[in-house]
Amino acid sequence: MSIRIIICEASEIITTGLYDILQGMAGCDVVARLDNPEQLEEKILTCDANLLIINPMLLGHAERNLPMQLVKEHQQLSIVALVTTCLDPSMLKPYDAILEINDSKLQVINKVNKIVKSNDKPEKADDVELSKREIDVLVAVAKGMMNKEIADQMNISIHTVISHRKNITRKTGIKSVSGLTVYALLNNLIDETEVYK
């Protein structure tokens, strides 16, 4: 399994050190480095990331639930807290693992490998779980909308729409618009009257 990692940390020194460790691991690819969480969701989609390493201190009080929201939206995503200071243990509960500022290179590698092994399970063909946003895109596609129309309606970029469509295809195994329309009808996501003729 290829590990596609996003690092979200304000300190360039910490980010660079972590990047060097992770890039040296077999099967690891750091696909994005962010110094704040503003573009996080878009980067997760566009980079098809499955591991996020983030400093919880970057999340304001209103964003404390962001890790749980991201996991709900992106089933494949594991989230690791990068702890650089003393934190209330309750803040770390939503995370899959914790990397501490004083962890050795070997400890970082072992922790990342442990997360990967726990997530490296084959997906069942009948166990399709689309996120709410993926369902919204699927419904729009089934109704005959084009990528640009979907992007405008949902106030997201065309690139994000395409990423959602790729995820839908990967999860359902259905590539054609007509196949996705049938899938939406069979799963009661749309009514026959909503399908554009």
By three-state DSSP, how is residue 181 classified?
Answer: helix
Q: What is the pTM of this model?
A: 0.60
Of 40 and 125, the structure prediction assigns the larger pLDDT to 40
Q: Report whether CATH 3.40.50.2300 matches the domain 3-119.
A: yes
Which token pair is 159? 């690139």
- The CATH code that applies to domain 132-194 is 1.10.10.10
Question: Is residue 195 very low, low, confident or very high in pLDDT (cuts 50, 70, 90)?
Answer: low
Domain ranges of the chain: 3-119, 132-194
Mean pLDDT, range 94-119, rounded to an integer: 85
CA dihedral 178, 143, 180, 126 (to 10 degrees): -150
CA distance 159 to 96: 29
Q: Would you state the pLDDT for residue 77?
A: 85
| Count of C-beta atoms within a 10 Å radius of residue 133 | 18
In the predicted model, is pLDDT for residue 43 greater than 60?
yes
Average pLDDT, the chain: 84
Query: Sign of the CA dihedral 51, 74, 36, 65?
Result: negative
Helix (H) or strand (E) holding 22: helix 12-23
Question: Which parts of 24-146 fold into alpha helices (H)?
Answer: 40-47, 66-73, 105-119, 132-142
Q: Would you state the pLDDT for residue 128?
A: 67
In the predicted model, is pLDDT for residue 5 greater than 90?
yes
CA distance 17 to 95: 21
Question: Is residue 125 very low, low, confident or very high in pLDDT (cuts 50, 70, 90)?
Answer: very low
CA distance 129 to 82: 28
Q: Would you state the pLDDT for residue 106?
A: 92
